[in-house]
Structure 1
Amino acid sequence: MNLHQFRFVHEAARRNLNLTETAKALHTSQPGISKAILELEEELGVDIFVRHGKRLKRITEPGQQVLQAIEVILREVGNLKRIGDEYAKQDAGTLSIATTHTQARYVLPEPVAALRKKYPKVAVSLHQGTPEQVAQMVLDETADIGLATESLSDFPDLVTLPCYEWQHVVVMPADHPLAQVQNLTLEMLAKEPLISYHPSFTGRKRLDSAFTQRGLHPNVVLEAIDADVIKTYTKLGLGIGLVAEMAMKEDQQPVVPGGSDLVWRPVGHLFGFNVARLAFKRGAYLRQFVLAFAELVSDRLSRQLILQAMQGPSTGSQDDAL
C-alpha cells in the first residue's frame, strides 16, 4: 500500500464517489484510480466501496474504518511537510487565512501588517467566503487558520477559540426621526425598512432570532455581505442599516466618515453580543508564524493556550481553555 492509493480513496470519498471528478482533481486518469483502489482493497482483504459495474455506489462499513485511518495518515503526512518547511525555511512561508469579508476588511489589516513586520519573509494569502466555506477551507487545509463569527464551532474536526466580542449598530441618516432616540427598541426597528447582512453572515441569525422571540416581523428590504454596501444604500435613503460595530471602528464618534449624513447607535442591548472565533484543523501542526498571527489577532490568545486546546479532547469550541 502507498500514499497514492490513500489519496485516491480519500478524494473519491470527498467527491461523492465520482471517479471522473476524482481524476480531474488529482490530475490523473480514471482507470488508474480504479486500479489503485482495487489493489488496496485486495491487499487489505476488504471492500472499501460497494460497486455497480464500474461505478462506486457507497462506502462499506469496513471502508468507513479504512477512511478514518487514511484521514489520520494524510493529516500526519501534511504535518511532516509543515515541520520540514518550518525548520528548513525557519521564518519564511505562506500564511493562508480563510475569513469573511467583514473580518478581512475591518479586523485583519492591523494583525496582517504586524505579522509582515515581524516575519517579512512570510507571504499572506486571504481567502474570503461564508462562515461555512471558511470552516471547509480550514478542514481541507486550503487555509492554516479561519476567522468568522458563525458556524465555526459547529464542526467537531475544528478547534475554535474565542477572540473578541462585538455588537451590532444601527446606521441611519442624520435627519431620520430615530437618530434622536438614544434607547432604540425592537418595535421601533421593526416598523422601518431595514438593510442588513445576508443570513449566513455577521451575526444575522442573532438579529432574526431577537425579532422572532418578540413576535415581530422586520421589513428587510436589502441584504448584503458587505457593510460598506449597507452604508451606501442607507445613505441613499433605502432604509436604516444594521451592521457590525467593527465596520464603524474608524469613527470615534457615531458618525460615518465624510460628513454628518449618517449616524450610528449601538444596539447590543437589543441583539446581544457576538463572539468571533479563530479556527484550526484538529491535529494540524501549527508553524511558529501561525501561532504568532493568532496572538496578534486577539490578546486573549497565547501559544500555550492554543497548543493546549489543540491537544485537548474533540469537543469543538475550547472556551474553557480561555
Structure 2
Amino acid sequence: MVGSQLRGLPRALLSTPAPLAAAARSLAQMNIARLKNFTEIVKNNFNISATAEKLYTSQPTLSKQMKMLEDELGLALFTRKGKNLVGLTSAGEQVMELAKGVVAQVEQLNQLSLGEQLATSGVLRIATTHTQARYKLPTVITEFSRRYPDVAINLHQGAPAQLAQMVQSGDVDMAIATESMYLFDELAAVPCHRWGRSVVVPHGHPLIDCQPLSMADLARYPLITYVFGFTGRSKMDKAFSRHGLSPKTVLTATDTDVIKHYVRLGMGVGVIASVAFDEGDREDLVSLNIDHLIASSATHICLRKHAHLRDYMYDFIHLYAPHISRETVQLHLINQPPAANMAELPWL
C-alpha cells in the first residue's frame, strides 16, 4: 500500500539522496496517527486549537506529535511565526501530498475490515442545494431508507462551492449540485442529469402571451432568481450578456420556494429550475419553459477521488441516477472518467 504511494512520488524526490527521499521511505514505518493529524492541521488552516478540538485531543499533545513527526522525518514541515504555524515548507508540501494518499488508503482498509455490517448500516452524509433536497431527493431518500433502514441520512445545504469544499474536507460523503463541481482537482464530478429553466409568473401576466418568449421580453421585467453560484445562475447571466441586455434583478435567494413566494407578492418575474415547479404552484402561477433561451445545465454527484464507497453509497447513486453504473463511478474515482455527452443525459 505505502509502497505504491512511494512509486507515485516524483522521480526527482525519490532519487534525491537526502533528506526528502529518506523521509519518503520512512513513511512506511511511521505512526499513521501522526500523519493523519498532520493532514488535519493543514485542512484546518494550521489552527492547532481547532484541530485539537476536532480530534478530541489537547493542543500540547498535538504540538508534541508534530515535533515528533518532524524529528522522525528529519525535516522542517511547517513555517512558523513565533509559536504559531502559518504554512508548509517546500518539503512539507511534498510530504503532505504523500501523506494524504497514505492516510486515505489506511482509512479504506479500516472501512473494509469492518465487514458486511457496514454495507447495511451507518451514516450517509450528503451535501446539496435546496432545489435538490426539496424537489428531487425526497423520492430517492424514501426508497433508499426503505432498503437501508439502519442507514441514517445527514443532509447539508449550501452554495455549490461550499458543497464541494465539504466533500474535499471529508465532512460529507458526496455532494449533489450543478455549479463549480468540476473546478476542484481533488474531486470526481459524475454528470447525472441535465435540467432546464422556467420563468414563473402570476396568472394573467403579459409574458404569457409572448410567443416565442425572448431574452428581451424577460429583460423588460424585474427578475427574482437564484444567488450567483446557485443552480446554473451563471448560464442565465451569460445568456443576457450575449444579447447585450442588463436585466434588473430585484431579489436573489438560495431557496426556490422563496423565489416563488416573492413572485406571488408581485415583486417580479421568477427564473427557477423547471423541476422546482410542482402541481400545487399551478393554482396561482404559470410556468414558461425557456430552454430555447438558456442552455441546459448538468447536475453532478461529487466525490473525493480515490475514496472508498460503501455498497449502500453506490446504491444511493444508482437510485438517484439509474443510468450511472458502479463501474462508471469507479472510473471517475480513479481519475479516468469515460467520455460523456451532456446532450445525452436524461432530464431531471
Q: Same fold (TM over 0.5)?
A: yes
RMSD between superposed Cα atoms in Å: 1.7
The DSSP-based 3-state class of the residue aligned with 2:329 is: helix
Match of residue 29, structure 1, among 51, 58, 62:
58
1:60-90 per-residue CA deviation (whole Å, 9 max, x = no partner) reads 1111111111111221222123223452344
1:239-275 per-residue CA deviation (whole Å, 9 max, x = no partner) reads 1100001101x33xxx824x2x211111011111010
Give the 5 Å matches for 1:150-161.
150-161=179-190
Unpaired runs of 5+ residues, structure 2, are 1-29, 342-348
| Runs of 4 or more consecutive aligned structure 1 residues displaced over 3 Å after TM superposition | none
Match of residue 212, structure 1, among 219, 228, 241:
241
Q: How far, CA to CA, are the matches of 1:28 and 1:40 in structure 2?
A: 17
The structure showing larger relative contact order (alpha-carbon pairs under 8 Å, at least 6 residues apart) is 1
Task: Give the letter aligned to residue 285 of structure 1.
Answer: H
Tell me the number of residue pairs that the alignment of Structure 1 and Structure 2 aligns.
Answer: 312
Q: How far, CA to CA, are the matches of 1:68 and 1:125 in structure 2?
A: 29
Q: Does 1:82 align with 2:111?
A: yes
Aligned 8 A contact 1:182 1:265 in 2? no
Once the two structures are TM-superposed, the CA of residue 176 in structure 1 deviates from its matched residue by: 0.9
- TM-score of the pair, normalised by structure 1: 0.92
Match of residue 270, structure 1, among 285, 289, 293:
293
1:248-303 per-residue CA deviation (whole Å, 9 max, x = no partner) reads 1x33xxx824x2x2111110111110100011110111111110111111132011
Give the 5 Å matches for 1:104-119.
104-119=133-148
Q: Which residue of the partner structure matches residue 318 of structure 2?
A: 295
Q: How far, CA to CA, are the matches of 2:141 and 2:338 in structure 1?
A: 24
Match of residue 156, structure 2, among 92, 115, 127:
127
Q: How far, CA to CA, are the matches of 1:197 and 1:211 in structure 2?
A: 15
Q: Does 1:101 align with 2:130?
A: yes
1:143-169 per-residue CA deviation (whole Å, 9 max, x = no partner) reads 222100101111111111111111110
Q: How far, CA to CA, are the matches of 1:266 and 1:193 in structure 2?
A: 18
Once the two structures are TM-superposed, the CA of residue 319 in structure 1 deviates from its matched residue by: 5.7
Q: Does 1:256 align with 2:290?
A: no
Q: Which residue of the partner structure matches residue 310 of structure 1?
A: 333
Q: Which residue of the partner structure matches residue 60 of structure 1?
A: 89
Give the 5 Å matches for 1:142-181.
142-181=171-210
- TM-score of the pair, normalised by structure 2: 0.85
The farther-off stretch of 193-202 and 177-186 is 177-186
Give the 5 Å matches for 1:225-244.
225-244=254-273
The farther-off stretch of 34-43 and 80-89 is 80-89
The farther-off stretch of 279-288 and 114-123 is 114-123
Q: Does 1:140 align with 2:169?
A: yes
Identity of aligned residues (%): 38
Q: How far, CA to CA, are the matches of 1:319 and 1:239 in structure 2?
A: 42
The DSSP-based 3-state class of the residue aligned with 1:269 is: coil
Aligned 8 A contact 2:191 2:300 in 1? yes
